[in-house]
Amino acid sequence: MLPQASFSRLVSRAAGLPRAIGRPDTTTIRTLRTVAETVPKSSIKILRLVDAVRQWRKPHMANYRSVGLVPTMGALHEGHFSLIRAAARENHHVVVSIYVNPAQFGIKEDLASYPVTWETDVAALARLDREFADDGANLGRISAVFAPTTSEMYPSGFPGQEVDSKGSFVTITPVGEVLEGASRPTFFRGVATVCMKLFNIVQPDRVYFGQKDVQQTVVIKRMVKDFMMPTDVVICPTTREPDGLALSSRNVYLGPRRRSVAVVLSKALRAAEDMYKNGRLNRSDVLGAANEVAKTTLEAQKRLPADQRVTFEVDYISMADPDTLQEVDVVDAAKGAILSGAIKMLPVEQAQSGEDLGHSGGPAVRLIDNIILAPKTE
């Protein structure tokens, strides 16, 4: 487990703050409370503190101006921008949160190396907001970026990443315990907890998530329903590269060699989807097609020399009920199903001279993807 000071430094970097903000520097905190920040070359406000967000939100609520929230951990890409565009079409104000939440990383996961691109992120948001200003089809624009520190988000102290950590958590079961939850037992606890906090702070009319993180969307929708939260959860389609790879902030870890093979998960799920479209409903038929793609791809890679090959491990390929995420043996054609999978792209065995291995030297990177099997109509 990283010490508290390390967590604070990491998340301060994500929010574009000086490293000293990770320590209890009361002078800096007081300054942040009184100095209004904006994204350079834009009117987008940068809000660091919960009180600042609430003060910003009050008049919009009184004036019946809608607010859409797009939660992110930074390292923004076109997938995030598609969510922000959707929010701008439907709301008077858009808030983008940028916060690397340590609670959704396991103790052996990549928090320390997670890409931090604050300057690039806010510059991209400024460009996107100018696009909205020139496009009369949008209801609103990007009004604020919420970029808190961990001490702001966890006022009683960060409780830790261990499964048995003590603290104030939101747990959504059983949908948060299967698939990703089985492989990463603290992940959805961290996601649900930080989303509950963000929703309470921003009080959005709508929140926007991508389908790529399909289990996350099921967990968040269940949380909003069960806690009777007054916000609509809007799910937007997965944004993909031309070859089908789902966009993810973690793709920067891959490097060109592994990037060329990472599309195997998308191809495997597409093969399974084709079986369903051709009338196959049994698990063995549908998932058999996906597993065959993964198997043949890996076998082909293993035949290559070490300085050319790419290896990966399949964590799971799933066919589950769209509401409960429990595995199904036969797709109910009236309901459809969710095909999902996760693979771990392993570090290259032997680097070529001068090879770009990806961000942080190309560590193992876990990729997820999914496809919705739509219900069949008569």
What are the residue numbers of the active site?
Answer: 80
Strand pairing report for 337-345 and 365-373: antiparallel
Are the beta carbons of 346 and 312 closer than 8 angstroms? yes
Compute the distance between CA of residue 144 and CA of residue 141 in angstroms, rounded to an integer.
9
Compute the distance between CA of residue 307 and CA of residue 309 in angstroms, rounded to an integer.
6
Compute the distance between CA of residue 18 and CA of residue 28 in angstroms, rounded to an integer.
10
* Residue reference for tokens 């430094």: 9
Compute the distance between CA of residue 148 and CA of residue 125 in angstroms, rounded to an integer.
17
Strands (E), the chain: 37-38, 45-47, 67-72, 93-98, 141-146, 206-210, 232-236, 312-320, 337-345, 365-373
Are the beta carbons of 321 and 335 closer than 8 angstroms? yes
Are the beta carbons of 96 and 84 closer than 8 angstroms? yes
Are the beta carbons of 145 and 202 closer than 8 angstroms? no
Compute the distance between CA of residue 25 and CA of residue 29 in angstroms, rounded to an integer.
6
Are the beta carbons of 80 and 53 closer than 8 angstroms? no
Alpha helices in 15-92 (DSSP H): 26-34, 50-62, 78-90
Short-list 277, 282, 242, 233, CA closest to 372: 277
Strands (E), 239-301: none
* Residue reference for tokens 């997820």: 368
